[in-house]
Structure 1
Amino acid sequence: MQCTGMYQLCDRKSQRSYIFQICRCSCEITSGNETKIRAKTNEANQNIKKIEESLKSFDNSVESVIKAITDEGSMIKCMVDKAVAQMITLVKEQSKKEKDKLMNMLSSAKSVLVAGQALDRKRNELDKTRQDESLVQKINNLKEEISKLTIKSLPEFPNISFKRKSVAEDDIRQLIGTYNISNGAPVLEKEEQRHERSYICSNCGCGKSYSVINTHKSAISQTLSLCDNEMISCSTVISRFMKGIYVNNPPKPKYTFTWDVSIVLRFLKTFWPLEELSLKNLTLKLVALLALSTAQRVQTLNCLKLSLLTDFGDYVVFTIDELTKTSKPARWLKEVLKLLGINTGIFSAHSYRGASTSCAFSSGVSLKDILTTANWTNANTFYKFYNRDLQCSFSNEVLSTMD
């Protein structure tokens, strides 16, 4: 009997301990669920607040961009109206001068006509006069008056015409600034899971080109390649991300057309004789001709030194012994374009490289010679980024037949 009672007592204690463990586990799970629910609801409330603030900020930014575009359009319109008004005023002033000249010639012609008519009446009267010695004298006097009456030869009459300038929609768009909207994308990873990818993602959609982001990725890869078990350069996620950047924002050529090299060459031809040129004009001519004839980058022209020049009689060779960098030649090359009225806001000094090679290609120079001269290894580089048609060349040729 005693053994049986102790067994029942132990069994009751075991049941109470089991129930206690169940209650404690239930409380812990309930508490954990409550903590997680509150954390998620708080995070959801914070996200809602941030989204609402972002919507308000985005609306304000959109209104600011629209206002900036409108203001710039109004400013351009005012500038166009002002230029038109000035041109009309100039036309009126110059045409008035020419018209005054014509009026003076008309008045002089009328005076000659009146005088001639008066002499003709005298002649008629003398024809009715009796023949005597006085008549002969009067006829001689009339002859002298007729000889004094001179009629000036007519000059070339003035003429005025207007040559329309072909303006395309792209030309108008280039006068107005550009806008950029960054694409909003859902966050797929937590901050602690992103590691080095956070920097590249922060630049996605900010207008940066594929090559810029790829350069940044390479720099980060060299620095953080050992910060994780997976190498950045071998990451599938990073590779897919970079492919998406390339598809959304592929490399684009800077120019859709180029300027006419012959215009620059005709302008440089006026810089003559060389002995009478100023140092500045001589420098502009030399740098422009070097840029056109060699199709080299501006950085390369800056490294040319007379001490490293080798003269072979028919040609000379420069040896480059230092790292290239942009310097004065860029400013000189742009100044030549500016003197010709070429828009340096569109065309930089680097445009000489595309203009000269495009001109050479259209003139029949072989692609191999062009690639060799410009130091290109891939013909696609020339075709995609440098080979361009002349600005409005077709339209100008057609409209020139109307002159």
Structure 2
Amino acid sequence: MAQAASKTCEICVSAPGSWYCLDCEQHYCENCKILHSRQKLSTNHEFKKASDFIPEVKSKCNDHNEAFSFVCIPCDVPVCICCVTEKHNGHKLSQLKDIIVQLKTKIEEDILTKINKASANVSRLKQNLSAFNGQVETVIKSITEEGDKIKSMVDQFTANKIASLEKEARKERGRLAAMLSDYKIVFGNANALKNRKISIEEQSRHDGSLIKMLKTLNEDIDKLEVCPLPDFPSATYTPKVVNENDISQLLGTFKLCKTETETYIERERRPSERMQSDILYQCSKCGKLKVAKAHGYYSFDYFSCCKTSMIKK
């Protein structure tokens, strides 16, 4: 079976019209189909999959079985020659073929306008996307360069700090080396005195000369000064606690102005929100449903019958 073109639900005017009501001759989405089936007037209406059904195009008036020749302007419906003298008597009429030409012309102009606008939008979006990508790359480069500069400064500061430490440490090492040399001399002199003592003790004679040598040794021992050791130098480091806030203070800030407009896909995903601002109307005779904006008047353009029977649901 031939496939019908994909249509939008004629009730919520947002979701895909995957079902077709044979009685109302309207496309319904899954949710609106369920709602329609719960209405008393349309409980027994028959549905078919829209993809498997192509509605029959009526070319003759149901009341008179005559071909449509005119279009009633106030009622916005095609009428036959008999309708003109009956319920559409006195109404403003136009030739059906003229209306068709007008509609085709309008459709062609509207499509061309939409295509031109969409094409212009696509071109502008491409240009802006390219420009935006360039701006992002520039910002990334600036952040990277600033980060590298800060890291270089940190490396240089670290090197200077280490160099300063090494300089002071060299001075302390020099002083310690000098002290070590002095204490080695004192240590050598003390050992020499010890050796003199041993040499004197090995002598067998105990006369005046021995006493003199002992006194001299004792004087030399008193003269040898062994100074106490000073406080030794030490090296410690106290790290500074650094958090993300400290790092953020070193870098600049970026500003990204976000897109405020919803995308087409985002709008299509919110049919339920759109329906909340609409009013649902139903014909009390045939059960047809239609949605109109809550802030406007209901338009009967899509109905060819029961215009005086429309009630707000």
Name the TM-score, length of structure 2 as normaliser: 0.49
Q: Indicate the structure with greater strand content.
A: 2
Higher RCO, 1 vs 2 (CA within 8 Å, ≥6 residues apart): 2
Q: Report the structure number with the largest CA radius of gyration.
A: 2
Q: Indicate the structure with greater helix content.
A: 1
Name the TM-score, length of structure 1 as normaliser: 0.39
